[in-house]
Amino acid sequence: MEIVPVTASGDKVQNRPLAEIGGKALWTKELDAWLIDGEIDFAVHSLKDVETIRPGEITIAAILPREDVRDVLVGAASIADLPPGAVIGTSAPRRAAQLLNARPDCRVVSFRGNVATRLAKLAAGEADATLLAAAGLKRLGQSAVGVALDAEHWLPAPAQGAIAIECRTHDAQTAALLAAIDHQPSRDAVMAERALLAALGGNCHSPIAVLTRAEGSELVMRAALFSPDGSVRVDGEARFAAGDVTAPASLAADLLFRAAPEISEHFTGA
C-alpha cells in the first residue's frame, strides 16, 4: 500500500476565513479529483470538514470510532472565567457565535492555521484565548492543552471527532475492505448530524451546533442554531431510531420554523 500525501487548499491559504475562499471544499477538492481519476483508491478525512453534499462518484465507505466530540478552551479555566472584554481567536462561525451568545462582552478575531500555528498566535498575544477540538489535540499527543468544555452545555460541531474514509462508489472491492473497519454506532450518529445539516441548508457562514448520543437503540439529538453575532439562538431536541434520517430533517424544519430572521436568513432550508 502506498500513502500519497497532499496539501489541501485549506492549508495553503491561511490569511482569509474559509467561508470567503470556498468553504469546506478546500479540504477535499484535491483528494476528490485524485479519487475520481483513479490516482488513489481511498481518501481519509476529518468528517467535520467534508461538505454535506458529495459527488455521486464518491461514497463514505467507513467511519472510524468517534473520538472526543468536545471543544477545548485554551487560555482560561472556563467561558465564565474569561476576563471582561476578552479577545477570542477562532475562524469557526459556530464557535464564534456560541462564544458571543454566552459572553457578548467578548470580541472574536480570526485565527487560521494548524494547532501549532494557533497556539503560537495565542502565545504571541494576538488573543486572550482560543478554542480547539479535543479530538485533534489528542491525535497530536497534546491532550493536556487547555480545558475541555462540557458538550452538554457547549454543543460541538456536526461530525466533530469523526474520521471518514471515502472511496469510489462503484469500487466494490475497496468498499468491502473498508467495511471491516466501519464503526456502526459512530456512523449512525454522524450521518444523523449530516442529515440535519443537509435539511438545514447551512453553509460556512451558518453557525450550527449539535450533540448526538445513543440511548439503547435510539439516538438523542440536541441542536442549536445561532445568528452569526450570537445575539439570537434557537434550540431543539429529537429522539429517534438509529438509521432514521427523516427525524433529523424534521428537527431541522422545526428549528427553522421557530428561528428568528437573524438566524433563518443564513439557511436555505427555510
pLDDT of 142-199, one tens digit each?
998 999 999 999 999 999 999 999 999 999 999 999 999 999 999 999 999 999 999 9
Q: Which residue has the higher pLDDT, 255 or 13?
A: 255
CA dihedral 164, 168, 172, 173 (to 10 degrees): -80
Averaged pLDDT for residues 47-65: 94
CA distance 80 to 150: 13
| pLDDT over 50 (residue 103) | yes
Q: DSSP 3-state assignment of 223?
A: strand
Confidence of residue 5 (pLDDT cuts 50, 70, 90): low
Q: Does domain 183-270 have CATH number 3.40.50.300?
A: no
As a whole-number percent, the residues of the chain with pLDDT over 70 amount to 90
pLDDT band of 24, cuts 50, 70, 90: low
pTM more than 0.85: yes
Q: Copy the grid coordinates of residue 239.
A: 429522539
Q: What are the residue numbers of the active site? A: 49
d(C-alpha 69, C-alpha 195), whole Å: 18
Q: Do residues 135 and 72 make contact, with C-beta atoms less than 8 angstroms apart?
A: no
pLDDT reading at 22 higher than 50: no
Q: Looking at residues 106-135, what average pLDDT do you find?
A: 93
Owner of C-alpha cell 435539511: 199
Q: What is the mean pLDDT of the chain?
A: 91
pLDDT band at 23; cut points 50, 70, 90: very low
The architecture of the domain spanning 1-64+162-182 is: 3-Layer(aba) Sandwich (3.40)
- The residue among 197, 176, 195 whose CA lies nearest residue 187 is 195
CA 144 to chain centroid, in Å, comes to: 22
Residue-level pLDDT at 27: 62
Domain ranges of the chain: 1-64+162-182, 71-148, 183-270
Which tens digits make up the pLDDT trace of 194-240? Answer: 999 999 997 767 899 999 999 998 999 999 999 999 999 999 999 99
Beta bridge partners of 187: none
Are 191 and 244 spatial neighbours (Cβ–Cβ below 8 Å)?
no
Which H helix or E strand runs over 238? strand 233-241
The single-letter DSSP state of residue 221 is E
Closest to 240 measured CA to CA, from 259, 216, 223: 216
**183: amino acid identity, one letter:** H
Q: Answer whether 1-64+162-182 and 183-270 agree in fold.
A: no
Residues 6+ apart with CB under 8 A from 228: 93, 96, 97, 205, 207, 266
Give the number of other Cβ atoms within 10 Å of residue 44's Cβ.
12
Annotation: CATH topology of 71-148: D-Maltodextrin-Binding Protein; domain 2 (3.40.190)
